[in-house]
Each structure stands twice: as C-alpha cells, then as structure tokens.
Structure 1
Amino acid sequence: MTVKGINVKSLLFAGFVAGYLMYFIDRYFAGFLGLFGAFPGTSNTWWMIEHHIDSIIFALIFAWPFIYKLLPNGGWLKGLIFGFFWTIALSLTALIAGALGATIFQQWPMGFKPFISNLVLHMSWGFFLGVLYTPPKEQEISAEGRM
C-alpha cells in the first residue's frame, strides 16, 4: 500500500524491526568500552511500546520521498546518514529544551559517552531502516495519483 509516495507496509516493518534491533544492540553491548546499556528495556513495558511507536513514527521522516531522495546512494547508506543527522537534531533539541527549562531534558546525561552511545545506536537504527525499507515502485506512485 502506497500513501503519499511512502510504502506503508515496508515502513511499518522496517521501523518496528529497526527499533527492536537498536534496543538489542544496546542490551548486547551494554558496558562495552563504557558505552551502551541506556535503555530500560523489557522491564518497562510502557517504555518498550513507546520506543517502538517512536521508531515507526520517526521512520516516516526517513521514508518521506523528499528526504529519501535527498539522501545519497543506496538504502543502507541513506539510513546511516539519516541516523547521524537524526542524532544531531535530537541532541540539539534536547540541549535547547533543557536550557529553556524542560526538566526531562535537564535530567538526561549529556556527556561524551552517552552522546557516542546515542550516535552509534541511532546510526544502527538508521542502517537497519535503510536496509529494510523498500520505497514504492514508480508504477505504484503513478497509480496512487490516479485514485
């Protein structure tokens, strides 16, 4: 199913799986080089559900045809680059919101190691998003316009 140039089935699958793999990498490498292990994990059911919903929602930005076509080369590289810029945008938003008094952002650890962990995890999320997401074929997009 294609909506506004986005392959919705592929987006849902890629966003969900990439979010889970991001969590899995964090758990698997917890403590490696003093990094990772930041996610509360399956002990907090609400957090896991919310994280997967976020993963799918934010994958919409990646799959949006304007952004997808703007990113260079093949799927995995598109995803890696998207994950890098997503981390920078997230960090700047958290920094500004924290400076303006948003208490949740003031409580986040913003040191070097948490930033590197966050960067690697979001780049892995982007990588898997890029590998798993399949944009719609041109004929599907043109058929969508005729509806």
Structure 2
Amino acid sequence: MPESRRGRSKRAQALAPLLALTIVLSGCSSPASTFDQAIGQGVAAVETARIAVDQQLDDRIFPTTTITALGDARRELVDASTSVSETDTSTESDAALRTDLLEALALGVTGVNRARDAMGGTGSLEDAVPALERASDALEALEERATEAEGARR
C-alpha cells in the first residue's frame, strides 16, 4: 500500500535535523586536516603507482594488474586534488600549502598518466619513473612541512 503524504511528511520532518547536522559537520573540517588527508592519499597513490611500474619493468606483474593499480592511483590523486581545491583557507600559509599541494598532486597525476600511456603503447614506461619520483619527493616534503606546522600550532 502506498505511503500517504502525511507519513512521508512526518518522516521528512524527522530526518531534517539529521540532514542539517550532517551538512554542518561536513563543513567543519579544518584546512589542515583536509590537507593532511590529501597528502597521505597522494603519497599512497604515488607509491602504489611506483611499485606497479617497478614490478612491470621487472616483468613481475600482469599488465592488467598494473593498469588497474595505475587507474586506482590516478583516481585517488584526482580525488585528493578535488578535495584540496575545494578547501577554503583563512591564512596565507594555508593558501600557500594548498597551492603547493595541488602542484604536487598534479605531478603525481602526470606521472601516473605517463605510465598509463606507456601501458597503452604510447611512450616508455621508464619515462614515468622520474615523474613519479618528483611527485613522491614533493609530497614527502609537504608531509614534513605539514608536520612541522602542526607542531608549531600546539
């Protein structure tokens, strides 16, 4: 039997406070926590890509597994970039960190794209290694910077 309008209305009224709380809480994360999460996500994605590329270069992994790992890594990097780019900042240091983090994540995407292209027959897989190393170095430097900034806040 179809639910009456009154029943739907009561259920909507009961869920409204929960929806409002969810919206409020989702907007409460600080730039620092968003950036920390994105840095971790970026480091993990780049390292996953590096391992997959290294294993592929040594013929120790199936090409389909490499392609899947690279696709997952790219998705993580893009998700992290989106999260960071949508984060508002209130200090110059947070704004600078956001810019640097977006650049580091873009390096990761470039490296992963080079590897994916090579797996598709365009370019050399070896050419992706330096790009992934640059991304890894940049993300690790940001990780240290964020850790130092967190220590200074305490």
Please report the TM-score for the alignment, with normalisation by the length of structure 2. 0.27
Considering fraction of residues, name the structure with more helix.
Answer: 2
Larger RCO (CA under 8 A, 6+ residues apart): 1
Query: Between Structure 1 and Structure 2, whose CA radius of gyration is higher?
Result: 2
